[in-house]
Amino acid sequence: MKLTIVGTGYVGLVTGTGLANLGNDVICLDVDKTKTDVLAKGELTIYEPGLGEIFKRNLKGGRLKFTDDAIKAVQESEIIFICVGTPSNELYEADLTAVEDVARAIGKYMNGYKIVVNKSTVPVGTADLVKSIIKENQQKEVDFDVVSNPEFLREGAAVKDFENPDRIIIGTDSEKAEEIMTSLYRSVARTDRPIMVTDIKSAEIVKYASNAMLATRISFMNQLSYLCERTGGDIKEVAKGLGLDSRIGPRFLHAGLGYGGSCFPKDVKALISTLKKHDCDSDLFEAVHRINEKQRSVAVHKLKSVLEINESTVAVWGISFKPKTDDIREAPALHIIRNLQNLGATIHAYDPAAVKNAKEVLDGVRFFENPYETIRDSDALIIATEWDEFRNLDMRAVKVLLKKPVIIDGRNIYDPEEMRKLGFQYAGVGR
Ligand code: NAD
């Protein structure tokens, strides 16, 4: 099939590459010409495990193309995926400016039947909005369908998730669009993954329900972590006991520094604003959000109780919002670093993939090439992201390099007993 992907960020680039790898002809359109030029030259603009190899192969094979020419991108394909960003605005709403711009361009340039697929995370009712914008902008009447096909990939495992999704949700009110979309995804469904066809509005809500559920589990554990700290319980043991219940399961039960990233924070906020817009209560999700905001300060609070932060040097390991990605949007580490700088600390930082992005948004931070160099002569270490490479380091060397043996383990990757035995002043979360 001939496909157009609009937006070449984490979702668009992985989806476009994945669909090209299944044999489709894919054109990726972005307003950012620098990005499309770099991609067309065969260089990746994001760090995503496993993406490089299939990206290069499909680009070379001519199945994957990049352009900033909207007319060509709209006219050459029958299916157009909208994968642009939908960030939060100050009212907590999803900012739909980019989605609306794309809808206008599609309406203006369409030259035959198109399926317009909303893959961006958008509030319920957005398919109707996109439909009306396309109609308003059509130069002559041309038939089209708008489909909701929310994306569930996880950064850091996005290629695997594309190839092996838990489910594919297709929200549509058109038999023709249903047939074409299910045939497009047939090869993925070959792996026994269900394609669920449903109405458009339910599909739109499923995406927010999924992210809000995962965010709720994280805030749930973070709130319980305080009870563990007050009473001598261990949140990891609690999570294990809880997760063994087959009705609950073990995933997303980790206490820590709160959720970050480009999805959970903005999607929980957008769900709150959508519920309010429709005169529905949003208390549960407001609490989830509030708990998360509070959790972002936990590491600094813990550090304050053992160290005079002003004029100290604090090392931070991990800047990305989670391991295996270079994405730093809403990363707890950014909040922690800025907070510490405001309190007068000097920051030394290390991340295996996110330093380039971090340099663009952080001032006055000294970045290092490896975790050991980062902590040399620092007064304390904060672990903000649980990259695998931090799990098995030589902690005796860490103790020697640190000026004071203070570790705030914001992701509970070390064993508190072992750390104390090694002579660290160690604090995890909820343990
Ligand atoms: P991103 O910010 O990485 O990429 C968005 C891209 O869209 C950018 O390259 C930008 O230049 C481009 N763009 C903006 N306006 C445009 C326009 N008018 N025409 C063409 N291109 C335009 O965003 P992302 O992380 O890929 O997320 C995209 C959407 O998918 C969001 O709605 C997000 O919530 C959702 N989503 C993201 C993830 C994730 O893990 N990142 C997972 C599931 C769903």
Ligand 1, atom 41, lies closest to the CA of 10
Tell me, what's the pLDDT at 193?
Answer: 78
> Ligand 1 pocket, 263 CB below 6 A?
yes
Residue 188 · residue 168 · CB < 8 Å: yes
Identify the pLDDT of residue 209: 98
How far is the C-alpha of 325 from the C-alpha of 355, rounded, in Å?
11
Mutate to test the pocket of ligand 1, among 80, 84, 121 (most ligand atoms within 8 A of CB): 84
Shortest CA distance to 402 belongs to which of 318, 321, 312? Answer: 312
Q: What confidence score (pLDDT) does residue 9 get?
A: 97
Atom of ligand 1 at shortest range from CA of 266: 34
221 lines ligand 1 (CB under 6 A): no
**pLDDT for position 191:** 67
User: Does ligand 1 come within 6 angstroms of the Cβ of 73?
Assistant: no
Q: For position 254, what pLDDT does the model report? A: 97
228 is catalytic: no
Q: Which residues pair with 94 in a beta bridge?
A: 88
User: Is any ligand 1 atom within 6 A of the Cβ of residue 150?
Assistant: no
Take atom 25 of ligand 1 and give the residue whose Cα is closest. Answer: 10
| 3-class SS letters over the chain | CEEEEECCCHHHHHHHHHHHHCCCEEEEECCCHHHHHHHHCCCCCCCCCCHHHHHHHHHHCCCEEEECCHHHHHHCCCEEEECCCCCECCCCCECCHHHHHHHHHHHHHCCCCEEEEECCCCCCCHHHHHHHHHHHHCCCCCCEEEEECCCCCCCCCHHHHHHCCCCEEEECCCHHHHHHHHHHCHHHHCCCCCEEEECHHHHHHHHHHHHHHHHHHHHHHHHHHHHHHHHCCCHHHHHHHHHCCCCCCCCCCCCCCCCCCCCHHHHHHHHHHHHHHCCCCCHHHHHHHHHHHHHCCHHHHHHHCCCCCCCCEEEEECCCCCCCCCCCCCCHHHHHHHHHHHCCCEEEEECCCCHHHHHHHCCCEEECCCHHHHHCCCCEEEECCCCHHHCCCCHHHHHHHCCCCEEEECCCCCCHHHHHHCCCEEECCCC
Query: Can you tell me the distance from the alpha carbon of 302 to that of 256, in angstroms, rounded to the nearest whole number?
Result: 12
Of all protein residues, the one whose alpha carbon is nearest to atom 37 of ligand 1 is: 11
| Pocket lining: 153 vs ligand 1, CB cutoff 6 Å | yes
CA of residue 318 to ligand 1 center, whole Å: 24
Ligand 1 centroid from CA 273, angstroms: 20
Distance 366 CA to ligand 1 centre (A): 30
CA of 159 to the centre of ligand 1 (A): 16
Among 10, 74, 162, name the best residue to mutate to test ligand 1's pocket (greatest count of ligand atoms within 8 A of Cβ): 10
Query: How many angstroms is it from 20 CA to the middle of ligand 1?
Result: 19
User: Block means of pLDDT (10 residues each) for the chain, length 431 residues?
Assistant: 97 98 97 98 97 98 98 97 97 97 98 98 98 97 98 97 95 98 86 89 98 98 98 98 98 98 97 98 98 97 97 98 97 98 98 98 97 97 98 96 98 97 98 95
* 76 C-beta closer than 6 A to ligand 1: no
pLDDT, tens digit (0-9, with 9 covering 90-100), for 217-271: 999 999 999 999 999 999 999 999 999 999 999 999 999 999 999 999 999 999 9
**Which residue of the set 28, 83, 228, 263 is catalytic?**
263
> How far apart are the CA of 246 and the centre of ligand 1, in A?
35
Query: How far away, in angstroms, is 106 Cα from ligand 1 center?
Result: 17
Q: Is the dihedral of CA 194, 200, 206, 208 positive or negative?
A: positive
Among 429, 315, 332, CA closest to 377: 315
For a ligand 1 pocket test, name from 5, 30, 328 the mutation site with the most ligand atoms within 8 angstroms of its C-beta: 30
C-beta of 393 in contact with ligand 1 (< 6 A): no
